[in-house]
A and B are shown apart, each in its own frame.
Chain A
C-alpha cells in the first residue's frame, strides 16, 4: 500500500473485477481513477463509480448476477470457505487493503447469517492511506512525548479510522513521539486490513494485529499474548468493549479508541459511553468536525 499513488491503488483494486467490468473501470481517465472512492455494482444496472461529488454510471451494459459471483470467485481466489467469516459480515478484504461490500439474500440458521447467496450488489472501496492525518493532533496527544489515553470522536464518515490508523503508525514507528508496542483489535479489518498475515495498510512496525474476532476478546487476547504498551480499537460498540478497555487500563496499558459521537455531551448522554467518562479511562479526546468542507480537529483534556 505504501508508496502507491491514488490511481495505482485504484488499478490494484479493480484487479478483483471480472474482465469486462475491469476494462470499463480502467477506461476512466487516470485523473478520475485517482479520485474514485468506490465502484458500485448492482445487478441490472451499469457499473458506477463514486467520486467525492457523487456517483456516476460508467455507461456500459448492466451488471449481471454471474458477474457478481465471478467477483467473489476472483476476490477470494476461489476460496470462499477461507473468507466465509468475512462474507457472513458482508465484506471481503483484498490485497492492498481494498474492500468489497456484498449484498444479497442472507442464508440464516439459528438466527445467524451463515452466508450470502444470490448476490444483488457489491461495492469495491479503494483503500487509500493518508499519511500525516495525525500530524495536527499529535502534540496534543503526547504530553512529554508519550501517547496518553485517547478517545477519537466524530459522526460517521469524518475520518476516525484514518486518524486512528495514522496515530497507531506514528506511535509504533516512534514518529514524533516515543515508540511503543501497539496491540490493535481490528474486528472488521478496517484499520490494518490483514491479507495473508500482512497489514495492507501501514500501521507501523511495532504493531500486532488481531483481526476477525469480537473487539473485547481481541483486546483480552492481545493483553494476554502480546504484552502491548498501547491497546487500540476502532469503534467501541458494546458494553463488553468498555469492560475490556477498563480491564486493560487497570493493567497500565495506554488506550487508543474511537467512538461514534458528536462531542463530549453526546458521549455523556449515551449509556454505552458514559462509563468511559465516569471511570476516567481516557485523558484526551479528539473531536473531528467538518467546517466549511474541511476537517477540523479539536483536542480536549478529559480529566
Chain B
C-alpha cells in the first residue's frame, strides 16, 4: 500500500513539474504581451499629448496588469524621489529587479530609461514603438516555443512519472 502511494506521488510530482514548466512558458507569453500592450498605451499617450512622466506612468499602470503594472506603478512612485535616484537609474533598477522577465526583455527595456522624459514626444514615441515591436516579436517566438515545447514538457512529466512508477513497482 505504501509503495503504491509512493508511486502515485512520484507520478503526480513528475507530471506537476512538466505542467509547471509548460505553464511557466505560457505565463511568459502573457507577460510579454501585457508589457507590449502597456508600451503601446505609452506610445499612444506620447503621440496624443506627451504628458509628464508621472501622468504617463500612472495611466500606464492603471491600464496594465502583472509585471508591466508593477514597473509602471513603481516608476510613478519613484518619481517623487528624484533627488535620491534619477529616472534612468530608477527605471534600470526596476527592470533588473522584476523577476518575471528574462535577459532578452530586460536588455530591450533598460535603454528606455534614458529616453523617456528626455527627448521630445515624437522621439520618445519612436523609441517606445521600436521596443514594443521587438517585444511582440519576442512574444510571438515565445508563443511558438510554448506551443511546441509545452506539449513536450507535459508529456515528459507524465511519461517520466510513469517510468519511475514502473521502476519502483
Q: How far is the CB of B90 from chain A (nearest CB, A)?
A: 8
A130 close to B (CB within 8 Å): no
Count the A-B residue pairs with Cβ separation under 8 angstroms: how many? 49
Q: How far is the CB of B75 from chain A (nearest CB, A)?
A: 9
Q: How far is the CB of B2 from chain A (nearest CB, A)?
A: 63
Of all chain A residues, the one with the shortest Cβ separation from B116 is A78
A80 touching B117 by the CB < 8 A rule? yes
In the complex the two chains form, what is the Cα distance from A80 to B53 in whole Å? 9
0/1 per residue, A56-79, Cβ < 8 Å to B? 000000000000001001101111
B120 touching A78 by the CB < 8 A rule? no
In the complex the two chains form, what is the Cα distance from A154 to B86 in whole Å? 43
Q: Could you tell me which residues of chain A, from 21 to 55, have a CB within 8 Å of some CB in chain B?
A: 22
| B-chain residues with CB within 8 Å of residue A17 when the two chains form the complex | 83
B63 close to A (CB within 8 Å): no
A78 touching B83 by the CB < 8 A rule? no
0/1 per residue, A64-103, Cβ < 8 Å to B? 0000001001101111111110000000000000000000
Interface residues of A: mostly helix, strand, loop or mixed? helix
Q: How far is the CB of A82 from chain B (nearest CB, A)?
A: 4
Interface residues of B: mostly helix, strand, loop or mixed? loop
In the complex the two chains form, what is the Cα distance from A77 to B76 in whole Å? 10
B86 touching A76 by the CB < 8 A rule? no
| B-chain residues with CB within 8 Å of residue A74 when the two chains form the complex | 82-83
Name the contact of B50 in the complex, choosing from A18, A22, A82 (C-beta under 8 A): A82
A19 close to B (CB within 8 Å): yes
Q: Could you tell me which residues of chain B, from 80 to 133, have a CB within 8 Å of some CB in chain A?
A: 82-84, 86-87, 116-121, 124
Binding site for A on B (CB under 8 A): 50-54, 79, 82-84, 86-87, 116-121, 124
Binding site for B on A (CB under 8 A): 17-19, 22, 70, 73-74, 76-84
18 more CB-based (< 8 A) A-B contacts, given A79-B51, A82-B53: A19-B84, A70-B83, A73-B82, A73-B87, A74-B83, A76-B117, A77-B53, A77-B79, A77-B82, A78-B53, A78-B116, A79-B117, A80-B117, A81-B117, A81-B124, A82-B51, A82-B52, A82-B117
